[in-house]
Amino acid sequence: AQSVAQPEDQVNVAEGNPLTVKCTYSVSGNPYLFWYVQYPNRGLQFLLKYITGDNLVKGSYGFEAEFNKSQTSFHLKKPSALVSDSALYFCAVRDLDQAGTALIFGKGTTLSVSS
Amino acid sequence: DTGVSQDPRHKITKRGQNVTFRCDPISEHNRLYWYRQTLGQGPEFLTYFQNEAQLEKSRLLSDRFSAERPKGSFSTLEIQRTEQGDSAMYLCASSRTSGRGDTQYFGPGTRLTVL
């Protein structure tokens, strides 16, 4: 079965410092991985995705994510955090070798950036 | 492109009433998805349409839930005989078929409160 784990409920970081939000996944086939961000009372906004190719994926607002097949991880990173990055972040996976299009989401990680 | 829109944004209803939500996808997106998100959880897949055909349904989609996409454009999600456990954010997403790698774009959601 497909699954996503976000081991940290909350990540706290000071503005200007680098941030990492962790994600590990489990699929039987090849993974198609996403990061989305959600602001209060809003829908999810797409940040970036990995399907194949370069393991380092760059996305919106200066975010990037590194795919590590051996560790089945897809951690979200940003070199210098902004207060405006404070939000709820979701990692999601789809197994490309299985029928179906549904994304499986983690429980989310709240990022809090202090000034 | 204008984004995915959902109506209403908020719905308060009494237990036992029927409710209907509407989703308008990004124009020319042939795929449309419904997810449900409860507090502290990531979105959970409910159902998926490709054009007007409903191709996938989750086990979460009980007999009280029905979704349609009659002309392959907008979609409606109806919940009959609502229960307090139906209280959640209902999210719609759309995508355009792109080989194996389409990206789902989400609407702002409809927050349902069942009293």
Longest dimension (CA), chain B: 44
Residue type, B99: G
Tokens representing B60? 């979460």
**Which residue carries 């996944």 as its tokens?**
A25
* Closest among A101, A96, A92, A95 to A37, alpha carbons compared: A92
Chain A partners within 8 Å of B8 (Cβ): none
Backbone angles phi, psi at A86, to 5 degrees: -60, 120
Polymer length of chain A: 115
pLDDT of A13 higher than 60: yes
What pLDDT score was predicted for residue B20?
A: 98
pLDDT (mean) for A3-24? 97
| Nearest-neighbour CA in chain A from B101: distance (Å) | 7
- Is the pLDDT score of A75 beyond 60? yes
Q: Looking at the complex, does the CB of residue B33 fall below 8 Å from at least one CB of chain A?
A: yes
Locate tokens 């795929």: which residue? Answer: B31
Q: Which residue has the higher pLDDT, B62 or A41?
A: B62
Is some CB atom of chain A closer than 8 A to the CB atom of B42?
yes
To the nearest whole Å, the CA of B2 is away from the closest chain A CA by 14
Whether the predicted pLDDT of A41 surpasses 90: no
Query: Mean pLDDT across chain A, nearest whole number?
Result: 93
A89 token code pair: 């972040």
Is the pLDDT at B1 greater than 60? The verdict is no
Q: What is the mean pLDDT of residues A61-66?
A: 96
Beta-strand pair B10-13/B110-114 = parallel
pLDDT in tens, B75-112: 999 999 999 999 999 999 999 987 667 899 999 999 99
Distance from CA of A72 to the nearest CA of B (A): 19
Which alpha helices (DSSP H) does B1-115 contain, by range?
none
Q: What percent of chain A has pLDDT over 70?
A: 99
R_g (Cα) of chain B, nearest Å: 14
Per-residue confidence at A19, pLDDT binned at 50, 70, 90? very high
CA distance A77 to B68: 39
CB contact under 8 A, A102 and B48: yes
pLDDT digits 0-9 by tens, B9-67: 999 999 999 999 999 999 989 999 999 999 989 999 999 999 999 999 998 888 999 99
Instruction: Tell which residue, B102, B115, B106, has the closest CA to residue B13.
Output: B115
Cis bond leading into B43, ω under 30°? no
Please give the pLDDT value at position B100. Answer: 63
Which residue, chain included where needed, has tokens 């090849």? A30
Return the number of CB contacts < 8 Å for A and B: 58
Q: Is A29 exposed, middle or buried (0-12, 13-18, 19+ CB in 10 A)?
A: exposed
